[in-house]
Amino acid sequence: MLAGDVFVHEVKDACPPFEAFCRLVSNTNLFFLDSALPAKGISRYSFLGFDPFLTIKTKHRKITLTDKDGTIETEGNPFEHLRELLKQFSLTTIQKSIPFPCGAVGYLGYDLCHFVEKLPSKAVDDMGLPDMYMGFYDIVISYDHVLGKCSIVGVDFGIDNTLKDKIEQIAHVLGKKSDSTSETINHPAPLELSEPTFRFNFTKELYLGAIRQIKDYIKAGDVYQVNLSQRLETHIAIPPYKLYKRLRSVNPAPFSCYVTFDDVAIISSSPERFLQVRNRHVQTRPIKGTRPRGKDEKTDDHMRQALISSPKDDAELTMITDLERNDLGRVCNYGSVNVTEKKVLETYPTVYHLVSTVEGDLHERYDLVDLLKATFPGGSITGAPKIRAMQIIDELEPTKRGVYTGAVGYIGFNGDMDLNIAIRTFVMKGKTVYFQVGSGIVADSDEEEEYEETMHKAKALIDSLKLCNSR
């Protein structure tokens, strides 16, 4: 085990987080965990980093580890390899004021579900992405949106004797004055936009047919709810950071992120927290229930009230909240798991959502990987019962989900963690862009309405791509 000393360098008069991202974007394996829509109590910090000292990529049972000495390939369970890597690093001191004193940043793809439960694997893997990618970082830039502070955090494991020099260099870059307006969120008029051409992994007719099949399973008593998704694909000629800039302007969200490796960029404006751990206290915030924003105040209010008063959406949220409570109960102290917020309406630029919050205290015999295995993937994007829902998803969705509905975020060397649910998320591989949208199918679902819900969720992503095509 390597024990590291923590260094904190406060940057006076630092540029704002998004401007810092723009200044650093050319660095390798850059990440930006971006509270683009800071909300009280749930998205206080933003983090940036680049040039990890170690990376792990997994595909099925193949594990690839890369550090400054080269690359090693082995085989095994990716969750167990992640656990063993995390055990290798500790901190000599814990500063509670620093929520993420360096650690692992990346994603856990949905298809890691095959290492949690025995499931069929019929869907086509046409993207060929790693099931997991994590970079281990010993320098992280931290922005506290409440205190208005920027700090550079470094952990010295004795791996890099230039660590303090690198921190000074980063501080110099962040401290430069600028008249940039990169933090400004603009919404260009629709007339400036041009329509991209999409390829779908479902035709509409096949998607509606899959909904009917799910309803037949529900009628037969196999399942209560299944989240069915469809994927869109297009091509763009701009670099990924510019797509993130467009998405951030159209749909700022509390759990946004940008993660790059090789020729891949994960570009997300997720509204949903999968798991947060602070001092072994766990929080998850499942979303169920969506309505589009109205074009004027009257229709907007109608949409809001329709969601709040919908028995169907209330039942869906209650079902998934119970599922999440049960999942946390597998690894949390008995009696500690509670629903602390129920059916809260949240407002976003293109949609309304209903959200609940479930919290508990992680039992001393379990670690973060145990928590992941007990809860992954999130119930809000699978269904209930979860295992049968995942079996049906694999049967009916033609392509593997990849990053979509997995989780993106960080796992800290201090034992804390914060991961989103990877929805409202682009995966850019070369010049090809993929994104996926879904809806929760229940017994009384209307096929056309469920299809339209997926397109409402796609609106912010499509608008971002339109901006990329505008002149």
- Residue 317, domain CATH: 3.60.120.10
Average per-residue pLDDT for the chain: 93
Q: How many CB atoms lie within 10 A of CB 446?
A: 11
Residue 269 in domain: yes
Tell me whether strands 417-421 and 407-412 are parallel, antiparallel or unpaired: antiparallel
Three-state secondary structure call for residue 147: coil
| Phi-psi group of 390: left, alpha or beta (phi > 0 → left; psi -120 to 50 → alpha; rest → beta) | alpha
Mean pLDDT confidence for 370-394: 97
Strand 432-441 to 425-429 pairing: antiparallel
From 272, 346, 359, 453, the catalytic residue: 272
pLDDT for 182 beyond 50: no
Active site residue 168: no
Q: Which domain holds residue 144?
A: 2-176+192-469
What total of structural domains would you count in the chain? 1
In this prediction, residues 424-448 reach a mean pLDDT of 96
276 domain-assigned: yes
From residue 220, how far is each of 142, 216, 379, 390, 445 by CA, in Å? 51, 6, 21, 17, 15
At 40, the pLDDT band (50, 70, 90 cuts) reads low
Give the pairing type, strands 89-91 and 2-10. parallel
DSSP class of residue 69?
T
pLDDT of 470 = 62
Whether residue 311 is predicted with pLDDT greater than 50 in this model: the reply is: yes
Quick check: is 40 catalytic? no
pTM of the model: 0.94
- Contacts of residue 31, defined as CB under 8 A and 6 or more positions apart, other chains included, come to 47, 48, 49, 50, 105, 106, 135, 137, 257, 258, 259, 260
Between the alpha carbon of residue 47 and those of residues 18, 30, 96, 220, 352, the distances in Å are 10, 11, 16, 47, 27
pLDDT band at 296 (very low <50, low <70, confident <90, very high): very high
- Stated as kind and residue range, the H or E segment containing 212 is helix 204-219
Residue 181 falls within a domain, yes or no?
no
77 vs 183: CA distance, rounded Å: 42
Write out pLDDT tens, residues 193-248: 567 899 999 999 999 999 999 999 999 999 999 999 999 999 999 999 999 999 99
Residue 218 is encoded by which pair of tokens?
């529900």
- What's the rounded Cα separation, in Å, for the pair 470 and 296? 25
Per-residue pLDDT, averaged over 438-450, amounts to 95
- Could you give the angle at the alpha carbon of 255 between the alpha carbons of 350 and 273, nearest 5°? 100
SS3 29: coil
Closest C-alpha among 147, 115, 116, 132 to residue 64: 132
Q: What tokens does 5 get?
A: 């000393």
3-state helix, strand, coil in the chain (%, to 5): 30, 35, 35
185, part of any domain: no
Q: Interhelix angle for 447-469 vs 204-219, to 10°?
A: 140
Question: Could you give the CA distance from residue 341 to residue 339 in angstroms, rounded to a whole number?
Answer: 6
CA–CA dist 339, 321 (Å, integer): 8
If you search the block for the tokens 């007990």, which residue do you land on?
374
Q: Taking residues 128-152, what's their average pLDDT?
A: 96
DSSP 8-state symbol, 382: T
**Whether pLDDT at 114 is above 60:** yes
Distance between CA 274 and CA 407 in Å, rounded? 7
**Residue 67, beta-bridge partner list:** 54, 70
Q: Is the pLDDT of residue 170 over 80?
A: yes
Please identify which of the residues 57, 245, 288, 459 carries the catalytic annotation: 288
Q: Helix, strand or coil for residue 32?
A: strand
Average pLDDT over residues 302-323: 95
- pLDDT at position 88 over 70: yes
Instruction: Say which range, 180-194, 221-235, 302-316, has the weakest mean pLDDT.
Output: 180-194
**Beta-strand pair 383-384/287-292:** unpaired
Q: Is residue 18 part of a domain?
A: yes
Reported as type and span, the H/E element at residue 299 is: helix 297-308
